[in-house]
Amino acid sequence: MSEQSVSKTEMKTKVSQLESAARKIGFDAMGIAPSDTSDLMPPFDDWLKKGYHGSMAWLVRGRDKRSDLNRVLPGIQSVICLRTNYQTQVRQLDYLNDTATGDITCYGWNLDYHDIIEPRLKVLETELEKLFPGCTTRRYVDTGPVPEKALAEQAGLGWIGKHTNLLTEGVGSWYFLSEILIDVLLPFSNPAENYCGPCTACIDICPTGAIVAPYVLDARRCISYLTIENKGVIPLEFRKAIGNRVYGCDDCQIVCPWNEDATTTPEAAFQERSGTRLLTELMALDPAGFRERFRKSPVKRIKRRGLLRNVAVALGNSGDAEVVPVLQRALLDKEPLIRAHAVWALGELMGTEAGPFFKQTLANETDPDVILEIQRITTLRWG
């Protein structure tokens, strides 16, 4: 955008008008970061080099845009960063005791946050157009090659904790980040300070040891990645640790002392919707039932086959032999991914009767992944 002769006082007024518009629209906080992200790249490149991104090849593809936001918005000068709280009630680790119920990360309890936040960003863009006529903007909410946490840290919205999420004193970490890139030079906020101190609660609790060093997450080990981003077979070594988590994981945030008195939101869109989370009932969902249960929810992203794969693992971890018939029925599912994980779960729950049962299943099976699962169990048990 062409240089505008806006005085410092005028600019200050415009920014505070923008901030109050953001609050009215529903954002909980706003800050402004410089658009130069080149300094953020060495740890990101190192992370990719180590393969910590797993199968998220889109992170590699977006690398160059992320390192130079000019490629996303030519002439970019500033990034307006925004926070939106989503937690509706205090979370505890006691969900782990309810082994008959599948746990869903609290950001997935109701409507998909993209659908809630994106329209709000659009409204804020119209405010920007009024304040800075002729400006060009681009909006993002977890939708592009933008280092959202690092930018938000620079914008003073919070600090990146050892669990690698952004957190804020007096607020906690249960919020989404979003931003508007703009070709206007705005006054930058002061970066947030880090108050993690010597605490290692998040590192110690992680069921799969995914936080391999403070501030470094190996996504391939993270239950959030394994149950959401990973589209294929869940590696054997993590299945037991997944417990009853069927979509994401919140443990590193639940134990964070800064979340003890975290802000909760009264927003209807984030309140838990009714609908079953019983593992046996989830396993019984047919395609239409799945669509109905998870309509407009972020869970729909992993599709029925992704969810039922995770549900099979959770049933295998339930220790309840009564769910065996439910898993045996799942062996008839047309999705090999579901059948493969149901085989593993049955192996966890069945006794000596498993031998002849698996022999018969093997005779009817044609998918190589499922066959491998059956062979693994039968070899393990009977050599």
Contact (CB, 8 A) for 307 and 247: yes
Is position 142 annotated as part of the catalytic site?
yes
Beta bridge partners of 139: 180
Among 101, 137, 224, 280, the residue binding ligand B12 under the rule CB under 6 A is 224
| Min dist. Cβ of residue 178 to ligand B12 (A) | 6
Nearer to ligand B12, 78 or 164 (CB): 164
Q: CB of 194: closest distance to ligand B12 in angstroms?
A: 7
**Closest alpha carbon to 345 in 368, 365, 322:** 322
Cα–Cα distance between 29 and 81 in angstroms, integer? 8
Is residue 81 a contact point for ligand B12 (CB under 6 A)? Answer: no
Site size with ligand B12, rule: CB under 6 A: 36
Sign of the dihedral through C-alpha 126, 132, 136, 141: negative
Q: What's the closest the beta carbon of residue 141 comes to ligand B12, in angstroms? A: 5
- Give me the catalytic one of 46, 115, 142, 286: 142
Contact status: 173 vs ligand B12 (CB under 6 A): yes
Instruction: Please identify, among the stretches 37-45, 303-311, 336-344, 354-362, the one whose residues bind ligand B12 according to the rule CB under 6 A.
Output: 37-45
Any contact of residue 222 with ligand B12 (CB under 6 A)? yes
Rounded to the nearest whole angstrom, what is the least distance from the CB of residue 307 to ligand B12 in the complex? 14
Interaction of residue 154 with ligand B12, rule CB under 6 A:
no
Using rule CB under 6 A, residue 165 touches ligand B12: yes
Q: CA 41 → CA 125, 150, 270, 313, distances in Å?
A: 28, 10, 33, 37
Span from 5-13, 139-147, 300-308, 335-343 in contact with ligand B12 (CB under 6 A): 139-147
Which span (8-16, 17-25, 163-171, 272-280) binds ligand B12, by CB under 6 A? Answer: 163-171
| 250, two tokens | 């919140």
Compose the 257-276 pattern: x for residues touching ligand B12 by CB under 6 A, - for all others: --------------------
Stretch that binds ligand B12, among 20-28, 69-77, 212-220, 302-310 (CB under 6 A): 212-220
User: Are 103 and 121 a contacting pair, CB within 8 Å?
Assistant: no
Reference 83, options 170, 3, 9; nearest CA is: 170
Residue 128 contacts ligand B12 per CB under 6 A: no
Q: Which of 146, 182, 192, 308 binds ligand B12 (CB under 6 A)?
A: 146
Determine if 149 is a binding residue for ligand B12 (CB under 6 A).
yes
Of the candidates 219, 228, 253, 215, the residue with the CA atom closest to the CA atom of residue 59: 219
Q: Within a 13 Å sphere around the CA of 368, how many CA atoms are in the beta-carbon half?
A: 0
Nearer to ligand B12, 28 or 148 (CB): 148
Give the Cβ contact number of residue 165 at 10 Å.
Answer: 20
Candidates 6, 40, 90, 233: give the one binding ligand B12 (CB under 6 A): 40
* SS3 call for 310: helix
Short-list 223, 218, 320, CA closest to 278: 320
For the CA atoms of the chain, what is the radius of gyration?
Answer: 23
Listed in sequence order, the residues at least 6 apart from 245 whose beta carbon sits closer than 8 Å to its beta carbon are 102, 103, 223, 227, 310, 314
Residue that is written with structure tokens 């391999």 in the block: 212
DSSP state of 176: E
Q: Any bridge partners for residue 30, and if so which?
A: 82
Residue window 95-124: x/- pattern of binding to ligand B12, with contact defined by CB under 6 A: ----------x-x-----------------
Stretch that binds ligand B12, among 124-132, 209-217, 272-280, 324-332 (CB under 6 A): 209-217
Residues in a beta bridge with 335: none
Give the nearest distance from C-beta 305 to ligand B12 in angstroms: 18
69 binds ligand B12 (CB under 6 A): no
**Chain center to CA of 173:** 13
Q: What angle do CA 113, 114, 116 make, to 5 degrees?
A: 60
Give the catalytic positions in this structure.
142
Which residues are near ligand B12 by CB under 6 A? 40, 43-44, 47, 56, 105, 107, 141-142, 146-150, 160, 163-166, 173, 175-178, 215-217, 219, 222, 224-225, 229, 248-250, 252
